[in-house]
Structure 1
Amino acid sequence: MGLQIDLHAKLKEYFGFDNFKGNQEQIIKNVLAGNNTFVLMPTGGGKSLCYQLPALILDGTAIVISPLIALMKNQVDAMRSFSASEGVAHFMNSSLSKSDILKVKEDVLSGKTKLLYVAPESLTKESNIEFLRKVRISFFAVDEAHCISEWGHDFRTEYRKIRPIVEQIGKAPIIALTATATPKVQHDIQKNLDMQDAQVFKSSFNRSNLYYEVRPKVDPTKDIIKFIKNNEGKSGIIYCLSRKKVEELTEVLCVNGIKAASYHAGMDASARSANQDKFLMEEVNVIVATIAFGMGIDKPDVRFVIHYDIPKSLEGYYQETGRAGRDGGEGYCLTFYSYKDIQKLEKFMQGKPIAEQEIGKQLLMETVSYAETSLCRRKVLLHYFGENYDEENCGACDNCLFPKKEFEGKEYLIDALNAILEVKEKFKVDHMVNILLGETDSMIKSYHHDELESFGVGSEKNVQFWNMVFRRALIANYIEKDIEQYGVIKLTEKGHEFLKEPKDFMLMEDHNFEESEEKLQEKGGVSALDNTLFAILKDLRKKIAKKNNLPPYVIFQDPSLEDMCTNYPITLEELANIQGVGSGKAQKYGQEFVEVIKQYVEDNEIERAQDLVVKTVANKSKFKVYIIQNIDRQIDLEDIASAEGLTFEELIKEMEAIVFSGTKLNIDYYINQILDEEQQQEIMDYFMEAKSDNIGDAYDEFEGDYSEEDLRLMRLKLHSKHGN
């Protein structure tokens, strides 16, 4: 238990957070225990904390291998803003001068540096290997680990050399991290880093705050301008596949009064980095970019990501859309799709090695099926990453909000599964579709598949229809893809059972993107709390950020500002209790904030929540003394209520008034009669993790397993124990 309390204290001390997110705590404990660790966590889930915190705690220096110079600089700046010592984090890459490198090496050898970020290219240099052999290394962190796999959306050959170099430098545990990996890529990473023994921590890839929409690409530029005008002042990224399109679109947006800038590999480095900074510092609202942009970006309040062109793979799409709403706020992901773009992409692939073309086509077909599907987009996306999403309607994608009509498809599924068995489970979907349609291409002839019973049984339907049947079968887990021979489909146990005993199987017609559809309605935005103060604080943050040459969110993130706009902290002590601030940050950046808030509170005669709580709640319970005395004597709550002529509901209200005003009540003796230890723990765990202690939310979460009274009593216990 000691370790846990310690970890929370360290988290608060270094980063100003009260609680870990998701499975961060288990991951960190695994790293501290010196084990190999593999982390799959979506963007915004708090990946970097998983190696930053243990690096600060452990002896020695952690070596973080990261593919992008911009990303390193961001992370090093962020780490330094949390710490008093400048040398706590450094990076080593081609952008440094000789004297810079000497300074870095000096800090590392003296033991000041807890995190050293290196590019994989720098790692392969003989002189650097020599240097690192002299360093006490706590562990290696391989960030963006999907770069190792050819099936990943961002394959880099130098990533394949990491393991042998680690061997040369000296043994230390490895933590590999990626924000996107299909089962196939995950398998590749572990094999290549020789860490099959690693404990794997996989967070859900569901980003519930993101809204997914795919529109037909009829007049995308006009649509985009209209969309941005409807979302005035919000930050967004627009991805295009070609540099030419990036330049053209940026120009059109600027002419239309939208603050936009470009970012692509054809620009010189200084122009690129200047535009990136303008975006971070909120001098421009929109960045139009090729996919080269974004991995180096850690901006939490990007409100929309638009794909002008469909990405080459679903992994790329997930990574890019994942840059929206990293602070948990609104994130709108809009993609424009036309099949012509896919044909263009296939043309680009010609001339590449055959194996690469094969992989590229496979990945592209997954994207097509995502774009054209009528299924819940979340379901399709999560299934691609090996995760089942069981909700019938996610409520946050175009397909769930505007569903298509369903029809019975049992017979079609039987035909599809029988065809797979007939070819001995050795072929991919496109070949299976050709068999069912009765197409006689060279492959069908050479395998004599035109002699099969299944040949042509589905000829009255089209390619799109049969693709949809196979996709539905995959998601319903009747068939699966082989990991080793990617794309070859086989029946699962569930598929074999279905053939023995067929049952209903509902299908939906897919979107026909050739016919332009009705445009989907715009989705509403999020609003801050005290909007006026929020705007003032954002300006102040921008000013301080500029002065310190840092992105605004390094000073304070949006959720922290929103918290300030609810609680109006006017002393540094109060500011330290604001979400995500902590005493270090309050000391470092807080003074001007509390002064501005204090002035604002006085000018607008605002009664602050702190004052209100004390005034209104303190003596609310007129039965206070009686209740406290009888609870001390462990009298049954029902008896206390009836003696005072209260209903049980009224008694709980009185108890809440007592506890919320700062008095402890120990009602364990009563709770132990109605809930066993396991049930209590389950409710406690929920409240400790939940964003708020709202009873309605808790009731929904447990789907009515616990009564409202049970939950309110447990909330009382929690507040008594931790709040007072």
Structure 2
Amino acid sequence: MRFFGTQDMMYQLNSLETALKQYFGYDNFRPGQRQIIEEALQNRDLLVIMPTGGGKSLCFQLPALLKPGLTVVVSPLISLMQDQVDALLDNGIGATFLNSSLGLSEIRSREMAILKNKIKLLYVAPERLLSEKFTPFLDKIALDVGISAFAIDEAHCVSEWGHDFRPEYRQLRQLRQRYPSVPMFGLTATATKRVQEDIIVQLGLKNPGVHIASFNRPNLYYDVRPKQQRSYDQLLKYIRTQKGSGIVYCLSRRNVDEIAFRLQKDGISALPYHAGMTDEARTLNQTRFIRDDAQVMVATIAFGMGINKLDVRFVVHFDLPRNLESYYQESGRAGRDGEPAKCTIFLGFGDLKKIEYIIEQKSNPQEKKIAQQQLRQVINYAEGTECRRTIVLRYFGERFQGNCDNCDNCRHPQPVEDWTIEAQKFLSCVARCRERFGMSYIIDVLRGSNSRRIEQNGHHLLSTYGIGKDRTKEEWKNLGRSLIHQGLVDETSDGLPVLKLNSRSWEILRKQRSVQIAIAQKSAENVLGKYNPRKAETELLLERLRQLRKYIADANSVAPYVIFPDSTLRLMAEKKPQTRESFAKISGVTDYKINQYGDQFISEIRDFCQEQELPIALPKHTQMITLQLYQQGLSVEEIAKERSLKASTIYEHLSNLIATHQPVDINEFVLPVKQDLIVQAIQKHGANSLKTLKENLGENFSYEEIKLVVGWWRREN
């Protein structure tokens, strides 16, 4: 292992970019990182709000390597410490953690390494850091080695207004009092304005540099799907069309156990995770998921903060999330490597009752009101017709203009109509009700409700009373949501969602601004696309590199992404480096990793390239269209109808796709017991004659089933 961080290190590097490449293998900083690191090197307090996958860890890790002394990282979970330390060690960086998972002798050994200045980053939980037993050791570090900074990860835990408040985080202010000259960094992925202010106060940050990166995660695809009556079958079909790891969030432990069990029975490698399991069982399942021994984790929100798996390709909320902040955090566990990933909500209004019941159990009336409003915001997001990215970012106070082209509403927009006159009626009613009521009340006034409350307030006498009878309640609600999402009217967020006019509202009322809203059902998705042979070749190599990475990761007992993230593997698959020099130019590859793994990956790439010089049966364009339609969940009959082909032709495509390692699940079409019998017949009679196989297998076997198993057998042999 190599250790970095002498006092002269800062002056030995030509630039921060040189240090970035040397230690982490990247050529360029992500947006905002360089300025944060420069301020950290100037010993300034910092508040860093950077979304999951934005690279906030590097903002304290790189300064730790360039400054003398030890950086102490406060981290709330053992698993998170372990993962981050593993990744640092695999880059040859001196890092360690101290927590309850270690024995006494191991703790002593690590403490000695710290005092000998062999460690640059120490990860520790807040409870241990502030304990009476640990304080003398921390004082000794400050005296003998020096503390370069305190980095408070997941800093939103310090605030009662945050979504994951932890009382022990409140005590971290003691660090500022005990070590007033040591800079302190507060870092988190999500924080509203109120939470940001609370973090600064609770940690005692002095004139901090505040860096709020965009909350936009452009690589994430957001969509909402109506939950069908047979919702489990809908979920199973969805998972079978996805590549890579995924998380399925459920509200109840019972749902988690049931869905995980059913997925396992249906051939999906799935694991459960919830607070009702033992610590050992949860830790084991989490480790198996992180190391790619299981594809899907089915979990409650207990599986959340601290899941340091970069290559999650999809996150499904099988039940409604409780609020938008939690949804952003949970869905944000997808695509942390910057590669494309999907975030899907299955919208079932039966789930509302479950959440409403949970809310009703709250004893504090104000907490109950806030929770009810947060639930309404989730419903507004799920039913919204605007760009979903616009809705989410607006929640965090960030404006997003235009079509994101990476959510269901933008890719398949609903027809837009001019509702300026209706908007004027709506906003005029808000004004005449003196901006003291919420959307439902305004709609009741517009539609001429006989509500006693409206009569008591005298609002049945308003000029706007009953002028909206020509529109349904749902149409008015759709307009109200759209006005909020477009920033054309404001809504308070203190538990009482009251509508307030803003400058844009008055522009509409003065006929200076028009209002366009989407109003119709979604159009059917066009899934036909152009087949790209180069892309197919890249995907084949990428899968082989993933298998090699998994083999190396298992041998080293680490998560696969610790070896290389998916983004680096994809660059390898695209550029196909076959020398150490070209391999070193791949983003994410350091000298340390070249020495550790370079020869194995270069050898795999060379083998692949040599194989491609031989004639190979890549799927033809027409077969790839069939694959795309299959991945959208269409049946063979639906694909045949869509393409004006015979079903037998589609089965021929699927057989060839299976034979060439494309993601077609044979278990969807042929029962395992039948597969075994067909394989036995192939071994006895060969795979060249379907007719011979059919005659020997009998009437219980169709040509289609035999054809598919022949494709599978050719792939395996």
**Unaligned regions of 5+ residues in structure 1, if any?**
512-516, 607-724
Which residue of 1 is the match for residue 386 of structure 2? 375
Quote how far apart the aligned CAs of 1:288 are. 1.0
- CA distance, structure 1, for counterparts of residue 104 and residue 579 of structure 2: 45
Give the partner amino acid of 1:377: R
TM-score, structure 2 as length reference: 0.76
SS in structure 2 opposite 1:126? coil
Match of 2:77 among 68, 84, 95: 68
Equivalent residue number for residue 220 of structure 1 = 231
Separation (CA, whole Å) in 1 of partners of 2:37 and 2:224? 38
Paired residues for 1:392-541 under 5 Å: 393-437=403-447, 454=464, 457-458=467-468, 461-481=471-491, 487-509=497-519, 529-541=537-549
CA contact (8 A) 2:232 2:259 kept: yes
User: What amino acid is the match of 1:39?
Assistant: V
1:562: which partner in 2?
A: 570
Map Cα deviations across residues 334-369 of structure 1 (whole Å, 9 max, x no partner): 211122212320111113122221221121111010
The answer to whether the Cα contact below 8 Å between 2:386 and 2:485 also exists between their aligned partners in 1 is: no
> CA separation in 2, counterparts of 1:263 and 1:380?
30
Name the SS of the counterpart of 2:272 in structure 1. strand
Deviations 1:526-554 (A, max 9, x none): 96644444333222211211111111111
Sort the Cα spacing of 1:494 and 1:533 in 2 relative to 1 into closer, same or farther, 3 A.
Answer: closer
Aligned to 2:652: none
Matches within 5 A, 1:122-271: 122-134=128-140, 135=142, 136-195=146-205, 197-218=207-228, 219-231=230-242, 233-271=243-281
Matches within 5 A, 1:620-631: none
CA distance in 2, matches of 1:300, 1:150: 28
Q: Cα deviation per residue 1:116-161 (whole Å; 9 max; x = unaligned)? A: 2222333342333443334232222222223233443323233333
For 1:263, the aligned partner's letter is: Y
Change (3 A) 1:350 1:284: same
User: Secondary structure at 2:133's aligned position in 1?
Assistant: helix
Q: Structure 1 residues 450 and 340, CA, compared in 2 at 3 Å: closer, same or farther?
A: farther
Counterpart contact for 1:27–1:201, Cα < 8 Å: yes
Amino acid at match of 2:165: F
In 2, the alpha carbon distance for the partners of 1:568 and 1:40 equals 36
Candidates 39, 50, 67, aligned match of 1:30: 39
Aligned to 1:12: 21
Is the 1:42–1:180 Cα contact (8 Å) retained in structure 2? yes
Q: Which residue of 2 aligns with 1:104?
A: 110
User: Could you tell me which residue of structure 2 aligns to residue 550 of structure 1?
Assistant: 558
Q: Which runs of 5+ in 2 are unaligned?
A: 1-9, 615-717
Contact 2:290 2:309 (8 Å CA) reproduced:
yes
**Deviations 1:161-205 (Å, cap 9, x if unpaired)?**
332443234442222222223334334333433448332222222
Q: Deviations for 1:406-431, whole angstroms, at most 9, x for unmatched residues?
A: 33322332233334434544444455
Q: Residues 421-464 of structure 1, C-alpha deviation per residue, up to 9 Å, x if partnerless?
A: 34544444455445545557787677666665555554554554
**Cα separation, 2, equivalents of 1:259 and 1:519:** 31
CA pair 34-437 structure 1, distance change in 2 beyond 3 A: farther
Rounded Cα–Cα distance in structure 1 between residues aligned with 2:318 and 2:423: 35
SS of equivalent to 2:172 = helix
Q: Deviations over 1:66-121 (max 9, x none)?
A: 2222111100111111125xxx2222333333333333333333333222222233
- The reply to whether residue 589 of structure 1 matches residue 589 of structure 2 is no
Q: 2:340 is aligned with what amino acid?
A: E
Counterparts of 2:205 and 2:508 in 1: how far apart (Å)? Answer: 38
Shift of 1:572: 3.4
User: How far does residue 5 in structure 1 lie from its aligned partner after superposition?
Assistant: 4.2
Residue number among 347, 351, 376 corresponding to 1:365 in the alignment: 376
Question: Is it true that 1:83 corresponds to 2:89 in the alignment?
Answer: no
Percent identical among aligned pairs is: 41
Q: In the alignment, is the contact (CA less than 8 A) between 1:151 and 1:359 conserved in 2?
A: no
What is the alpha-carbon distance in structure 1 between the residues aligned to residue 461 and residue 175 of structure 2?
A: 54
CA distance 1:168–1:57, shift in 2 (3 Å): same
CA contact (8 A) 1:36 1:173 kept: yes
Deviations 1:607-661 (A, max 9, x none): xxxxxxxxxxxxxxxxxxxxxxxxxxxxxxxxxxxxxxxxxxxxxxxxxxxxxxx
Which secondary structure state, in structure 1, belongs to the residue aligned with residue 602 of structure 2?
helix
| SS of residue in 2 equivalent to 1:127 | coil
Match of 1:343? 353
Letter in 1 for 2:588: G
**Would the aligned equivalents of 1:264 and 1:272 in 2 still touch at CA under 8 Å?**
yes
Give the length in aligned residue pairs: 596
One-letter code of the match for 1:220? Answer: S
Change (3 A) 1:189 1:213: same
Structure-2 residue corresponding to 1:41: 50
The one-letter code of the counterpart of 1:274 is L
For residues 41-89 of structure 1, what are the alpha-carbon distances to aligned partners after superposition, in whole Å with 9 as ceiling and x for unaligned?
22111111111111111122222222222111100111111125xxx22
Match of 1:651 in 2: none
Q: Using the alignment, how far apart are the partners of 2:114 and 2:338 within structure 1?
A: 36
Contact 2:23 2:91 in 1 (8 A): yes
Counterparts of 1:157 and 1:521, CA distance in 2:
50
Confirm or deny: 8 A CA contact 2:13 2:19 kept in the other structure: no
Q: Does 1:295 align with 2:311?
A: no
1:35 is displaced (CA, Å) by 1.7
Question: Normalization by structure 1: what TM-score?
Answer: 0.75
* In 2, Cα distance between equivalents of 1:279 and 1:227: 19
CA distance in 1, matches of 2:120, 2:473: 56
Q: Which amino acid aligns with 1:101?
A: I
The answer on whether the counterparts of 1:93 and 1:118 sit within 8 Å (CA) in structure 2 is yes
Q: What's the CA shift for 1:13?
A: 1.1
2:171 partner letter: K
CA distance, structure 2, for counterparts of residue 167 and residue 453 of structure 1: 61
- Maintained 8 Å contact 1:43/1:322: yes
